[in-house]
Amino acid sequence: MILIYSDNKNNSLELLGKGRKLADQVKNRVLAVIIGNAGEPEAKELIAFGADTVVIAETDMEHFKAEEYADILQSIINEYNCETVMIGSNKNGKELAPRLAARMETGCVTDCINVSLEGEKLTVERIVFSGAAISRQQFASDIQILTIPPKAFYPPPKDEARTGEVIKKSYQPNSYASKVLRVQEMKSGDVNVEDAEIIVSCGRGLKKKEDIRLLEELAETLRGNTIGCSRPIAADLKWLSEDHWIGLSGHKVKPKLYIACGISGQIQHIAGMRDSAIIVAINRDSEAPIFKSADYGIVGDLYTVVPALTKAIKEEMSS
Q: Which residues contact ligand FAD (rule: CB under 6 A)?
A: 203-205, 230-232, 246-250, 262-264, 266, 268-269, 272, 282-285, 288, 301-303
Q: Minimum CB separation from ligand FAD for residue 117, in Å? A: 32
Min CB(147)–ligand FAD separation in Å: 19
Residue placing its CB nearer to ligand FAD in the complex, 98 or 247: 247
Give the residue at shortest CB distance from ligand FAD.
Answer: 247
Q: In sequence order, which residues have a C-beta less than 8 Å from that of residue 58 and are 6 or more positions away?
A: 36, 37, 168, 169, 170, 171
Which CB sits closer to ligand FAD, 53 or 89? 89
- For residue 276, give every residue at least 6 positions away whose Cβ sits within 8 Å of its Cβ, in sequence order, or none: 199, 253, 254, 255, 256, 257, 258
Closest CA to 32 of 53, 11, 59: 53
Query: Which element (helix H / strand E) includes 147?
Result: strand 144-148
Task: Using the minimum distance from each CB to ligand FAD, give the nearer residue, 46 or 127.
Answer: 127
Cβ 226 to ligand FAD shortest distance, Å: 16
Are the C-beta atoms of residues 43 and 50 closer than 8 Å to each other?
A: no
Nearer to ligand FAD by C-beta: 159 or 236? Answer: 236
Residue with smaller CB distance to ligand FAD, 46 or 282: 282
Distance CA 252, CA 249 (A): 9
Shortest gap between Cβ of 108 and ligand FAD (angstroms)? 23
Contact present, 258 and 273 (Cβ < 8 Å):
yes
CB 232 → ligand FAD: shortest distance, Å? 5
**β-strand 278-283 against 296-299: which pairing, if any?**
parallel
